[in-house]
Amino acid sequence: MIPRYSRPEMARIWEPENRFRIWFEIEAHACDAQAELGVIPKEAAKAVWERGKWEIERIDAIERETKHDVIAFLTNLAEYVGPEARFVHQGMTSSDVLDTCLAVQMKQASELLLADLDALLAALKRRALEHKMTPTIGRSHGIHAEPTTFGVKLAGHYAAFDRARQRLLAARDEIATCAISGAVGTFANIDPAVEAHVAKKLGLKVEPVSTQVIPRDRHAMFFAVLGVIASSIENLSTEIRHLQRSEVREAEEYFSPGQKGSSAMPHKRNPVLSENLTGLARIVRAAVTPALENVTLWHERDIAHSSVERVFGPDATIALDFALARLTGMIDKLIVYPEAMQANLDRYTGLVHSQRVLLALTQAGLSREDAYQAVQRNAMKVWLEGKDFLTELMADPSVSAKISKAALAECFDLGYHFKHVDTIFRRVFGG
């Protein structure tokens, strides 16, 4: 991922330092288990831990010759460990190291993403509580519908990211398996106890059947979950973009003093963060299809999946980490304009109460069809001619015959719409 969309902590997971460190731990823990089984000398295992070192440039140099990264690493490791190095990697295959390492990296990435989600959830909760009762117009199809509160909007997004969190937990657990099973996964040359030991030490579960590789449906599921989370980010970002558009202006991204909106139009304050999040969501989602295609391997394994993972393993997790953090900051500092929300709510003079009038008319004995026509007839005068809805209704004999003016006026009470906000908040935030 390009630096522009990277944060150091997530990027570090995918850097050679971390990868070789994990490789070393896998090999060294495996040596311990092998020593415990009596397959290799205990001193050898000890030597590995004590003298085990490596140097990235040296590994690169060896790899250029051997064209094989794990052999290059082992060769360099042997240069430090000395003769005991011949006991390292016994009965193992490169994939045992590579796939278990990838599992550790994806687990580490998951932990960061979970922390990102926690921060986002906290920001959303804070802003939702702050605006729990801030009236705003609810819109379906971009058209004014009925009143809601800005807090309810945010609570809905909170709930979505709470689901995201649950899914990521499951995906993390699915991905966190260890495979040390040898050439085609039969443990011919290595005891399953080695795998069990390494798994335990690295906080992984044992992969039940690894045919040299960890099966790629696990990875596909992981990237699919990232894709769904990315889509929820786009959903919230799109809401902000809408709220900031010139004709709505109910909320705005924070605009720092030095920032310039447009080289040509100095007055402009653009929702560039949320637009950027829309693009980042596409970037994260781009990993889903290749990951699905990666599931199919030839027989016990081929290496077609590898390049995809080398690129999208880092790219998808780094971009998502960046996006979640950006979104959190954006929500945290979002400038909200309750007056503008109220003004938009009042824009069509009471039309938002049309359904309540419809219900009142039905309850007063009008057939649903007649009530609907009466309401639509008067609503259209508001919509098209800018008339006042309550006035029109009161003047309509087919309405006034069924319902008193006082009762009609009561239908225009905004508070009526918010009586269950508490219920919704309790569902989302508990308590």
List all residues 6 or more positions away from 86 whose beta carbon is below 8 Å from its beta carbon.
78
- Which of 27, 234, 321, 392 forms a contact with a copy of itself (CB under 8 A)? 234
Q: Which helix (H) or strand (E) holds 342?
A: helix 338-345
- Which of 51, 53, 68, 126 forms a contact with a copy of itself (CB under 8 A)? 68
110 interacts with a copy of itself by CB under 8 A: no
- Which of 108, 212, 317, 328 forms a contact with a copy of itself (CB under 8 A)? 212
82 interacts with a copy of itself by CB under 8 A: no
DSSP code, position 134: -
Stretch that binds a copy of itself, among 30-38, 111-119, 269-277, 398-406 (CB under 8 A): 269-277
192 interacts with a copy of itself by CB under 8 A: yes
- Which of 12, 53, 111, 311 forms a contact with a copy of itself (CB under 8 A)? 311
Stretch that binds a copy of itself, among 43-51, 117-125, 246-254, 392-400 (CB under 8 A): 246-254
Please list every residue from 131 through 160 that binds a copy of itself, using CB under 8 A: 137-148, 152-153, 155-156, 159-160
CB 33 within 8 Å of CB 20 = no
**Residue 74: CB minimum distance to a copy of itself, A:** 7
CB 68 within 8 Å of CB 94 = yes
Q: Name the residue nearer to a copy of itself (CB basis): 85 or 202.
A: 85
393 interacts with a copy of itself by CB under 8 A: no
Q: Name the residue nearer to a copy of itself (CB basis): 58 or 139.
A: 139
Cα–Cα dist 270/268, whole Å: 6
**Residue 406: CB minimum distance to a copy of itself, A:** 19
66 interacts with a copy of itself by CB under 8 A: yes
CB 180 within 8 Å of CB 92 = yes
Please list every residue from 338 through 357 that binds a copy of itself, using CB under 8 A: 344, 347-348, 351, 354-356
Helix axes 368-385, 354-363, angle to 10 degrees: 150
56 interacts with a copy of itself by CB under 8 A: no
Q: Which amino acid does the sequence have at 430?
A: G
- Which of 174, 332, 388, 410 forms a contact with a copy of itself (CB under 8 A)? 174
- Which of 175, 194, 382, 408 forms a contact with a copy of itself (CB under 8 A)? 382
- Which of 131, 132, 301, 387 forms a contact with a copy of itself (CB under 8 A)? 301
Please pick, among 262, 307, 367, 404, the residue that the annotation labels catalytic.
262
Q: Which helix (H) or strand (E) holds 147?
A: strand 143-149
Please list every residue from 8 through 27 that binds a copy of itself, using CB under 8 A: none
379 interacts with a copy of itself by CB under 8 A: yes
Please pick, among 141, 246, 256, 299, the residue that the annotation labels catalytic.
141
**Residue 244: CB minimum distance to a copy of itself, A:** 7
List all residues 6 or more positions away from 121 whose beta carbon is below 8 Å from its beta carbon.
158, 161, 162, 165
Cα–Cα dist 227/225, whole Å: 5
Stretch that binds a copy of itself, among 46-54, 99-107, 243-251, 391-399 (CB under 8 A): 243-251
Coil, strand or helix at 38 = coil
Q: Which helix (H) or strand (E) holds 148?
A: strand 143-149
262 belongs to the catalytic site: yes
Q: Which amino acid does the sequence have at 140?
A: S
Stretch that binds a copy of itself, among 50-58, 104-112, 397-405, 420-428 (CB under 8 A): 420-428
List all residues 6 or more positions away from 371 whose beta carbon is below 8 Å from its beta carbon.
358, 361, 362
Sign, Cα dihedral of 294, 296, 298, 299: positive
**Residue 255: CB minimum distance to a copy of itself, A:** 10
Q: Which helix (H) or strand (E) holds 161?
A: helix 150-175
Give the residues across from 251 on adjacent strands: 336
242 belongs to the catalytic site: no
- Binding residue count for a copy of itself, defined by CB under 8 A: 170
Q: Which helix (H) or strand (E) holds 137?
A: strand 135-140
65 interacts with a copy of itself by CB under 8 A: yes
254 interacts with a copy of itself by CB under 8 A: no
The first and second tokens of residue 420, run together, are 């269950």
- Which of 18, 133, 201, 238 forms a contact with a copy of itself (CB under 8 A)? 238
Count Cβ atoms below 10 Å from residue 88 Cβ, excluding itself.
Answer: 23
DSSP code, position 179: -
The first and second tokens of residue 164, run together, are 């995201």
272 interacts with a copy of itself by CB under 8 A: yes
CB 212 within 8 Å of CB 189 = no
- Active-site residue set: 141, 262
